[in-house]
Amino acid sequence: MPARTNELALFARELLRNPRDISAAVPSSRALAAAMAREVGPQTGRVIEFGPGTGRITRAILARGVAPGDLTLFEMNPEFSRLLEDRFTGVRVVNAPAQAAAAEAPGVGAVISGLPLLSMPPAIQSEILAAAFAVLRPGAAYVQFTYGRRPPLDDAVRRELRLEVTPGSKVWQNLPPARIYLYRRADDVCANSQQEAISRL
């Protein structure tokens, strides 16, 4: 059976088994995966992906030049974790929730998230984003997509964690269409703006 058929069959089976944990009826499109990976490259260093599922975005991250040894995946579903380990040689797969990323060494260059953040309670959102920003280096982005019409992170959580949000591209070539958002520490955004203003003097 072709790999793509295996992937779709596994996705459909896990969707039926755990519908609350999977936010879409089909895996992310190649267009969405490419747009999510646009923030990373060989210069990014270590990258963490939350909720990689069957690995569509993972493949796009690696295609951008991120070394397999620099990529860590946090995936709760054991079936997806086994698929990812078989599919991506050299990539570290952690069968654990995104919150476990807080134990990673700091200095991560980007966190790419395919989690259904908008459907989660604010307390869980806060735990996930706090874990990400505990390891992200200054100025680095947390990249998240959503199918909703508003930013996926609860605004109270964003203020609590002192984050700035920047709308990214809208990806129509996905089912359903998705919008990408980038989150950074507000203090980092302010510092970068001040440095740019000084450099123009």
Domains within the chain, CATH numbers bracketed = 27-199 (3.40.50.150)
Q: Report residue 72: phi and psi, to 5°.
A: -120, 130
Give the model's pLDDT for residue 6. 62
pLDDT one digit per residue (tens) for the chain, 201 residues: 355 546 655 555 555 456 555 555 467 899 999 999 999 999 999 999 999 999 999 999 999 999 999 999 999 999 999 999 999 999 999 999 999 999 999 999 999 999 999 999 999 999 999 999 999 999 999 999 999 999 999 999 999 999 999 999 999 999 899 999 999 999 887 556 555 544 555
Q: What are 184's strand-pairing partners? A: 164
pLDDT of residue 188: 84
**Per-residue pLDDT, 197:** 46
| Model pLDDT, residue 155 | 97
Residue with tokens 């793509």: 4
Strands 178-185, 163-171: pairing is antiparallel
Phi first, then psi, for residue 147 (nearest 5°) are: -95, -10
Residue with tokens 């596994």: 10
